[in-house]
Amino acid sequence: MRRSVLSLLFLSPLFAADTPWPVNGGPYNIRYTELSQITPANVSKLQVAWTWDAHEAFKDSEMQSNPIVVDGILYATTPKMHVVALDARTGREVWNFDASRGEPIQRRFRHRGVTVYQDRVFATYRNLLWCLDRKTGQPIQKFGEGGHIDLRKGLDRPFEALSVSASSPGVIFEDMIVFGSSVPETLPGAPGDIRAYDVHTGQMRWTFHTIPHPGEFGYETWPKEAWKISGGANAWAGLSVDPKLGMIFAATGSASFDFYGANRLGDNLFADCIIALDARTGKRVWHFQGVKHDLWDLDFPAAPSLVTVTRNGKKVDAVAQIAKTGFVFLLDRKTGAPLFPIEYKKVPASTLDGEKAAETQPFPVKPPTFTRQTFTEDMVTNRTPEAHAAVLEWLRKLDSGGLFTPPSTKGTVLMPGTDGGAEWGGAAYDPETGLLYVNENEQPWIIRMVTHDTTSLYNNNCASCHKEDRTGTPPTFPSLVGIGDKWTKQQLVRFINEGTGRMPGFSHLGKGTDEIADFLLTGKDSGAVDPAASKNPNFQKYRNEGYILMRDPDGYPPLTPPWGTLNAIDLNKGEIRWRIPLGEYPELVAKGMKDTGSDNYGGPVVTKSGLLFIGATKFDKKFRAFDKLTGKLLWETVLPAAGNATPSVYEIGGREYVVIVCGGGKNDAPSGSSIVAFALPETK
């Protein structure tokens, strides 16, 4: 029998060695590859194989995709929310789909990639989930309404006023795509339900309520009406799937509002939880809560890693969950039972009226924390005498009692802060050695609570991030002073209604968004809150003054280095194998201050051959390869912009590639819009 041309092609050497990167974070979300062409012995010879640039960078834009590579095609998203398909060997553009449908975008999006399933590509844009033909990039009309569905629908609340999106890709189980979501961290908010949709039609197949409804498990951990008005408890960082067990694993965020919970007294299941769900039905199998009644925005920052560890000489399937706190929770995958002891320790009570903090919080005995959890006077920076004196004076005016010290009107130091310890890039796991690799940030923040202002729509809704004087806390929360020089009133109203970056939409304010825009343009605040606002169940007596990132007078971290690290944690023994600084400040290096570490965003990938690849460092823009067993630096290069993303590793035609998107833009770093692939020199 004669073989078809297609079958001969796929049996040829060109295709025989192909190894894809098929899902976000790799299978089981452990960021691991068995490819071994690139090794510690030859990694120094890596060179750029190809570069593709979307030419879409603008001030503060970002690009955080973990590229998906299937059948020789790479899929990712761009700063202006185009979905692109590239030839994974050359970087040649195959197709380009504008998910915004022509919207002139100058607002930052944080988007971490796409989901590929059979003949289709799934990508989100704001509240829309698009289903695209994998060959053409065009919407598949039979999915939803003209190729998309609205993620705001099906949440048991009027959807028009909800702000719901998804920055992390969905996961596939059988013929369903399952999503968490990004929702506002203020009130009113949207619930963070986890939902499954039919991959062919877009119809919803099941929903798991992360804020339990009456009669559901955990309902008693909230006030009776919370399911109607509360928001958050959302799996914004994505999900992980075990197809063999038929289970989906989520790690959820805090409940809204982040820093004051008088309207949600109780432990608040399923906020700040690791949750195991039956993938076919969405029913809860087990859960573990990492923070009870969260008052610190300590949501789990990354989807669970599905690992296999050794216990008493036997292999045990487990879930490893990294946390902003610096903890690693290791749980049995089938039952949720801790594999290392967890102690529940008494923590301080809140001093705010109406608040009732949880009396105890969980502290894993092993592994040790991979970040400092308290900012004390002996940790104050010694970079210069002036910096030391200024930070010390500032610190002495604040509450700095360590982890789980409740927010106060005096001002509370959060250490680690809202941007880590661990971050959304997630962890890599080496199943051969049992080592879990985590990069982390060491930067304290301040949360100071002030009485909510009922006379100003702006203060009531915007000042928590941008301050009452509109100066914000740059670069994390930009100043709004002079914003009328850049945007028209029409544009401002649209931004306020729809949200941008980490800012939620405020369409629920109705005409109030128009009044806030007028205030931003004129400085005259005519937007008075309804006098009955204090009786609204969403009204809070306190709000945070702003997200204040502690820095010394010259803009550097206020504590002694390291300011960011890369850690190898032995999950078999519960020990830290090695820990090194990650990142530098080039201007400090020029003055002789090296190996300080820096804040970093984006995760690592580990290879069977002995390497750990990571970008993530925003100031030096470097992409590095380390020896996975020792942490020794083996290779580094400077990227066009910071690689605030997780790399992917794949092989085509016998050649192994390591690829990373270079979007920069985080916290005032220069922005980019390129994708760069590296490989060893081709042999002739």
| CB crowding 341-352: b at 16 or more within 10 Å, else e | ebeeeebeebeb
**How many other CB atoms are there within 10 angstroms of residue 631's CB atom?**
18
Question: For position 469, what pLDDT does the model report?
Answer: 80
Tell which residue, 127, 209, 204, has the closest CA to residue 167.
127
Tell which residue, 16, 80, 37, has the closest CA to residue 657.
37
Is the CA virtual torsion 246, 165, 104, 481 positive or negative? Answer: negative
Token output for 316: 């045990």
CATH number belonging to domain 453-539 = 1.10.760.10
User: Phi, psi (5° rounding) for residue 518?
Assistant: -60, -45
Question: For position 523, what pLDDT does the model report?
Answer: 74
Please name the helix (run of DSSP H) or strand (run of DSSP E) that holds residue 498, with its range, or none: helix 489-498
Question: For position 14, what pLDDT does the model report?
Answer: 38
Question: For position 458, what pLDDT does the model report?
Answer: 75
| Cα dist from 190 to 107, 128, 233, 547, 573, whole Å | 22, 15, 9, 22, 41
Q: Interior CA angle at 657 toward 656 and 660, to 5°?
A: 160
Long-range CB pairs of 504-508, under 8 A, 24+ apart, other chains included: 504/163, 504/183, 504/184, 504/185, 504/186, 504/189, 505/163, 505/184, 506/163, 506/461, 507/160, 507/161, 507/163, 508/161, 508/162, 508/188
Instruction: Collect the ranges in the chain with pLDDT lower than 70.
Output: 1-17, 453-455, 460, 464, 473-477, 491, 498-505, 507-511, 526-538, 684
Question: For position 9, what pLDDT does the model report?
Answer: 36
The full set of domain ranges for the chain reads 453-539
Question: Which amino acid does the sequence have at 563?
Answer: W
3-state helix, strand, coil in the chain (%, to 5): 15, 30, 55
Question: For position 504, what pLDDT does the model report?
Answer: 63
